[in-house]
A and B are shown apart, each in its own frame.
Chain A
Amino acid sequence: DAGVIQSPRHEVTEMGQEVTLRCKPISGHNSLFWYRQTMMRGLELLIYFNNNVPIDDSGMPEDRFSAKMPNASFSTLKIQPSEPRDSAVYFCASSYDRVRFFGPGTRLTVL
């Protein structure tokens, strides 16, 4: 298996623009997680899905953030409009038990 796949790997955008991050989980995994890593807060959970259904989105910082999982093999995290403080590395992870497997991350820079 190729592992968790994320795209793009790097994204540079201007403040106010819409940003969409994509994730393909490992086949057979039934849970998917979106994390954000910053120097100040470390790794923080934004939202997770179980069997494509959002279970806990309490970590989503604001209404500007939204996530979807239309099927078992694809998820998106959207930021609209983006702000400079959203600059971070965003990780997607998937699991079928208590071990989480992470993708390589998307480094987002909002100018």
Chain B
Amino acid sequence: DQQVKQNSPSLSVQEGRISILNCDYTNSMFDYFLWYKKYPAEGPTFLISISSIKDKNEDGRFTVFLNKSAKHLSLHIVPSQPGDSAVYFCAASGGRTGANNLFFGTGTRLTVIP
């Protein structure tokens, strides 16, 4: 059973505009959430994370929002750049599954159009 879901397999955005990638989870015990970016023929690269004690974390152009009541998180990229074109995975861990068990979503392919 998929505990972390990314329902949009792909997203296209114009350069300079905002990209919003969404992620839902089912396990209310998850307490740590991460976003990874993956280019072809490379491993996933850590982008940004958020603990469940926060509802927002910002790092440069990247902001992650967490809505615990809705079991939803999102990644905002502003402004979007062509180099941001990649597959983005959200991941979650915690609760009874333990901090070492990291559940990944299936990914959203972002294409930023110049």
Q: Are A100 and B104 in contact (CB under 8 A)?
A: no
**B interface, size bucket:** 20 to 34
Instruction: Looking at the assembled complex, report how far the CB atom of B66 sits from the nearest CB atom of chain A, in whole angstroms.
Output: 15
- Complex Cα gap A102–B43 (Å): 6
Question: B46: which of A42, A100, A104 is its contact (CB, 8 Å)?
Answer: A100
Q: Are A105 and B42 in contact (CB under 8 A)?
A: yes
Binary contact readout B13-40 vs A (1 if CB under 8 angstroms, 0 otherwise):
0000000000000000000101010000
* Chain A residue contacts of B89, Cβ below 8 A: 43
Instruction: Looking at the assembled complex, report how far the CB atom of B91 sits from the nearest CB atom of chain A, in whole angstroms.
Output: 8
Q: Are B100 and A48 in contact (CB under 8 A)?
A: yes
- Complex Cα gap A52–B108 (Å): 34
* Chain A residue contacts of B100, Cβ below 8 A: 31, 48, 50, 55-56
- Say yes or no for A77: interface residue by CB 8 A criterion: no
Chain A interface secondary structure, helix, strand, loop or mixed? strand
- Name which residue of chain B comes closest to A93, CB basis: B43
Q: Are A42 and B106 in contact (CB under 8 A)?
A: yes
- Say yes or no for A21: interface residue by CB 8 A criterion: no
Q: A98-B93, A98-B99, A99-B49 in contact; A42/B43 too (CB < 8 A)?
A: no
* Chain B residues within 8 Å of A, Cβ to Cβ: 32, 34, 36, 41-46, 49, 89, 93, 99-102, 104-107
